């Protein structure tokens, strides 16, 4: 088992250490009965999206953006660390996968592996700097790194394509031993959707395992009181850094999938993308890993629907976001698991 304690802290009282974990459990991220049930809910959501969303690329994008938002929620909802720069590993993961597909091999396994591992390494370097500060200073540092990454991508024309983006990314192939699949989101969107759904589900299960592990429980204890967790002997910086790396790796994986879907990696203001994924997290609910998927589906549906009728669709999305935050600040997940059952109980009691 990984030792999370700093040197000299191994003699900390067992009762104090247990108290921190108990605190995390008592104020946990989701009702215990829903922890593993979220996987089933995600399967149901994927099926609903598959059969109700008319645009296949949009349906696939919902899964990818949901995965990206779920990774961010490790930091925001479980760790209490608000990142304004989470678009950086997403975009650079796309560049990494696109460059591998263009210059090395069309294997989806290799491209996604490089995107995930490279963004884990980049997140380790960035996290080592950003986590030296807390609260708003941490958020501003992540934003600064995102902007730095944006200008590097903008100026590095030979590699990223600059303002024109990385075009001409070839269609990837997926070797399964007994067969080889061509992942083409235009010609065979169903295969791409199913492959993406399996990858998302496996990654989602791994994220749940992390949140339910001893390190995940300590992370939640740090969210409640970092000073108390440190006083109990936990190495809080190490736990936060590991979480930052995992969130960055998940963002890199999502970015690689998005590059394979579009066969293109565009250049957008990273602060804007970071704001979009943060909105998805808040809309869906920070108290679970499944909530951000709900937020991603809602946001992308609003964007797709409203943009058909008006160029000012962002104004209406912003207004809806404000209303949602005011009416149910715990997001859609909190509305479904807390507010609605509470209202039903009150209604039954009134009878």
> How high is the pLDDT of residue 7?
41
> How high is the pLDDT of residue 1?
40
> How high is the pLDDT of residue 4?
54
> How high is the pLDDT of residue 34?
64
> How high is the pLDDT of residue 344?
60
Residue corresponding to tokens 């938002």: 69
User: Three-state SS for 165?
Assistant: coil
Domain boundaries, the chain: 14-350
Cβ contact 27:220 at 8 Å: yes
- Length of the chain counted residue by residue: 351
Give CA–CA dist 173/176, Å, rounded: 10
> How high is the pLDDT of residue 178?
83
Domain range 14-350, its CATH number among 1.10.3470, 1.10.357, 2.30.30, 1.10.1330? 1.10.3470
> How high is the pLDDT of residue 347?
66
Structure pTM? Answer: 0.87
Cβ contact 226:26 at 8 Å: no
Burial class from Cβ neighbours inside 10 Å (0-12, 13-18, 19+) for residue 219 reads buried
| Complete DSSP assignment for 273-337 | HHHHHHHHHHHH-TT-SSHHHHHHHHHHHHHHHHTTT-TTHHHHHHHHHHHHHHH-TTHHHHIII
Report mean pLDDT in 10-residue bins for the chain, 351 residues. 44 42 42 71 95 94 96 94 93 95 94 97 96 91 93 90 89 88 91 96 96 92 89 91 96 96 85 88 91 94 91 89 86 78 64 60
Cβ contact 41:285 at 8 Å: no
Comparing CA positions, the residue from 55, 266, 289 lying closest to residue 154 is 266
List Cβ<8 Å contacts ≥24 apart for 159-167.
159/95, 159/99, 160/95, 160/265, 160/267, 161/265, 161/267, 162/267, 163/267, 164/267, 165/264, 165/265, 165/266, 165/267, 166/94, 166/95, 166/98, 166/99, 166/102, 166/259, 166/264, 166/265, 167/264
Residue 122 CB-half CA count within 13 A: 26
């Amino acid at each position: 088992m990984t030792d999370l304690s700093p040197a000299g802290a191994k003699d900390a009282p067992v009762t104090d250490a247990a108290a921190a974990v108990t605190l995390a459990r008592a104020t946990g991220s989701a009702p215990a009965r829903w922890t593993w049930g979220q996987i089933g809910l995600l399967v149901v959501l994927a099926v609903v999206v598959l059969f109700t969303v008319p645009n296949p690329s949009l349906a696939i994008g919902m899964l990818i953006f949901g995965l990206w938002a779920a990774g961010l929620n490790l930091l925001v909802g479980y760790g209490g660390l608000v990142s304004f720069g989470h678009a950086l590993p997403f975009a650079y993961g796309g560049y990494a996968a696109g460059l591998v597909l263009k210059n090395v091999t069309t294997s989806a396994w290799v491209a996604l592996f490089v995107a995930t591992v490279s963004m884990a390494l980049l997140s380790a370097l960035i996290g080592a700097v950003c986590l030296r500060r807390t609260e708003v200073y941490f958020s501003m540092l992540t934003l600064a790194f995102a902007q730095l990454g944006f200008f590097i991508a903008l100026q590095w024309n030979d590699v990223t394509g600059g303002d024109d983006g990385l075009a001409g990314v070839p269609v990837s192939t997926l070797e399964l031993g007994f067969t080889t699949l061509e992942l083409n989101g235009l010609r065979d969107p169903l295969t791409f959707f199913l492959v993406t759904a399996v990858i998302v589900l496996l990654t989602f299960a791994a994220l749940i395992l992390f949140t339910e592990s001893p390190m995940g429980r300590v992370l939640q204890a740090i969210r409640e009181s970092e000073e108390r967790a440190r006083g109990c002997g936990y190495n809080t910086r190490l736990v936060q850094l590991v979480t930052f790396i995992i969130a960055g790796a998940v963002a890199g994986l999502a970015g690689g999938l998005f590059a394979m879907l579009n066969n293109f990696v565009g250049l957008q203001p990273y602060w804007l993308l970071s704001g979009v994924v943060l909105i998805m997290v808040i809309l869906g609910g920070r108290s679970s890993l499944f909530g951000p998927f709900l937020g991603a589906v809602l946001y992308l549906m609003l964007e797709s629907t409203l943009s058909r009728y008006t160029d000012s669709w962002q104004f209406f999305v912003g207004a809806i976001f404000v209303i949602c935050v005011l009416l149910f600040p715990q997001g859609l997940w909190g509305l479904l698991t807390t507010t609605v059952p509470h209202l039903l109980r009150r209604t039954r009691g009134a009878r």
